Structure 1
């Protein structure tokens, strides 16, 4: 939960500041270093985060990658940063060269908003063309936050990340294919379904018809599944609300309004009728007191009566709704507080 909140705070900061960030260096300091820090690494500790990490390629000397993260004194991830306005697709090859010579397990390409994590799943020490984890930090989903948490210093386990990376990568690619087919079904995709439900020859005209039918059927199926889930969630919410209402009714049923309390209410009404109509005076009984309200409004309490114990009390209210509790011996003693009760009505009428 803490990482979730930290990521959200960073996303909010990015939305506020990005229009003021003009350079790559500013992007690093404002967006990327905070991300490294929330992963539990100290960007000021050169044994954990090394800036300008050497990545010489062949005869080409002086090549450096922006950051290298060390874990157990070994470089485990290199990070190449770009200005937040830049297209990351233009920089994959540069990061691939650095990955090959630094022999780290992970490479991260980012512009502070988009993050792309790479590995060498397909060929050892050769960075894959496609990332196994990719996200926009300003639009994170819960499952992605879970994957980010695996890179936190306290959770970091290379073997676990590697074992899961292949599944992540191919699941992501399959989801892209599915989304593409839903938007514009391919010939083979349509043929897969048309061939199973249509017994005639799949001519060009028939395939055109089935392209629209397949697209419509998939969209309807998704809509129905979403609707079913929403209805299921709503039904659970209704059941929960009914249970809460039942529990509330049980609580209310424990409250017994006594004849003594009703008699006291009639005394209060008799006093207040000098100022307001009796139709505006209401009572509400609770487990701890019997309340009298103006206009049946909780924000307009007139008095509270405590008559269930050995000693009886009336609580009165001043213009700031501060209470003053007075002991009474009998119901008729309420008449002694006529002035205060009428004054309370004046407070509300003046408002």
Structure 2
């Protein structure tokens, strides 16, 4: 199944907003119940499920388990009257552990293939890769919502109501689970290389006998080599990104030069500019009145700032106009026969200065 990129971007924005809220509020959250309402329910909601619909998001979900009656898991998300995800919540201050968890017991008596254990900050998603209908001991997807990596967004998006597909998630879960374990092992080997890991490299580069002393010497070399390799790869990526940005800036500069060569400032435009300056100097120094010519109009700005347009001159067509601006920077085009007609609109021009200077009287 292909996940919609625009939906991913929206989910990314929502997750970041929730993460910011969690960082801001967590020290004021004291109980598990508060954690559910402030952190977990908003997460369920941004996955597209209606937390106010008790047939879709069922709180205090109960399923009889043998002789155990009345045990409850915090939430169950339903689709077509069947639970597709059961959720157990902890206080945000608690560490997550599936031992003695209702999730383990509920998993095999419901038809769900997925379980979520969370404290509102740490999220652990489980399925039954190792033994059918028995929840795995290790999660296949795990993340901290306040520090989500880019590639994790796509995995979270698979649980969105609009994307949810059991087979798609299960098929990908195995890859996620083992990739996570491999990454963890690589990190451990880089931090503290094992004899087996060191021997694998030493055998290929050292012709002598691999004594215990040689292995110990090679541990530092292997660790140093791994760290240098990673550092060089990171630098290569950074340099490639910087070069790409430099190329883009050069293209933009060339484009600006090309555009500027197409602009021809006329004598009429410069004469009109002098008229505008003569009017506006009653309120502001002439040094603050700057013109910028473009292909479509001749602009006059306050302090050479595009966000402070004083007026625009449209003089290159059959009909000529003076463009003036209101306090919301909306342009109104006033027809003129000749540039001398600009003097008729001194009130409008001086009012525009007032919008920027905080003075609205002529």
| TM-score using structure 2 length | 0.78
Match of 1:47 in 2: 55
Q: Which structure 1 segments of 5+ residues have no match?
A: none
Aligned equivalent of 1:190, options 168, 187, 198: 198
Match of 1:209 in 2: 217
Match of 2:181 in 1: 173
Deviation at 1:95, TM superposition (A): 2.7
SS state of the match for residue 101, structure 1? coil
Q: Spell out the pairing of 1:90-129 with structure 2 (5 A cutoff).
A: 91=99, 93-129=101-137
SS state of the match for residue 85, structure 2? strand
Give distance in 2, aligned partners of 1:32 and 1:265: 61
Aligned equivalent of 1:31, options 39, 61, 85: 39
Residues 249-296 of structure 1: CA distance to partner in whole angstroms, max 9, x if unpaired? 221111123455567778999999999999998654333445667876
Residues 113-152 of structure 1: CA distance to partner in whole angstroms, max 9, x if unpaired? 1111111111122211100111111111222121111112
In 2 relative to 1, CA 49–265 (structure 1 residues): closer, same or farther, beyond 3 Å? closer
Q: Is the 8 A contact 1:268 1:334 kept in 2?
A: no
SS state of the match for residue 89, structure 1? coil
1:147 aligns with 2:155: yes
Match of 1:78 in 2: 86
SS state of the match for residue 92, structure 2? coil
Match of 1:60 in 2: 68
Deviation at 1:4, TM superposition (A): 2.1
Q: Which of 1 and 2 has greater Rg?
A: 1
Q: Is the 8 A contact 1:271 1:335 kept in 2?
A: no
In 2 relative to 1, CA 127–279 (structure 1 residues): closer, same or farther, beyond 3 Å? closer
In 2 relative to 1, CA 57–201 (structure 1 residues): closer, same or farther, beyond 3 Å? same
Q: Spell out the pairing of 1:1-351 with structure 2 (5 A cutoff).
A: 1-89=9-97, 91=99, 93-259=101-267, 284-290=292-298, 308-309=316-317, 327=336, 329=338
| TM-score using structure 1 length | 0.80
Give distance in 1, aligned partners of 2:62 and 2:180: 32
Q: Is the 8 A contact 1:314 1:328 kept in 2?
A: no
Q: Is the 8 A contact 1:185 1:215 kept in 2?
A: yes
In 2 relative to 1, CA 40–276 (structure 1 residues): closer, same or farther, beyond 3 Å? closer
Alignment length (residue pairs):
348
Residues 57-111 of structure 1: CA distance to partner in whole angstroms, max 9, x if unpaired? 4433332222222222122222111111111126465432232333531111111
Measured on the aligned residues, the alpha-carbon RMSD in Å equals: 4.0
Give distance in 1, aligned partners of 2:342 and 2:111: 91
In 2 relative to 1, CA 294–203 (structure 1 residues): closer, same or farther, beyond 3 Å? same
SS state of the match for residue 25, structure 2? helix
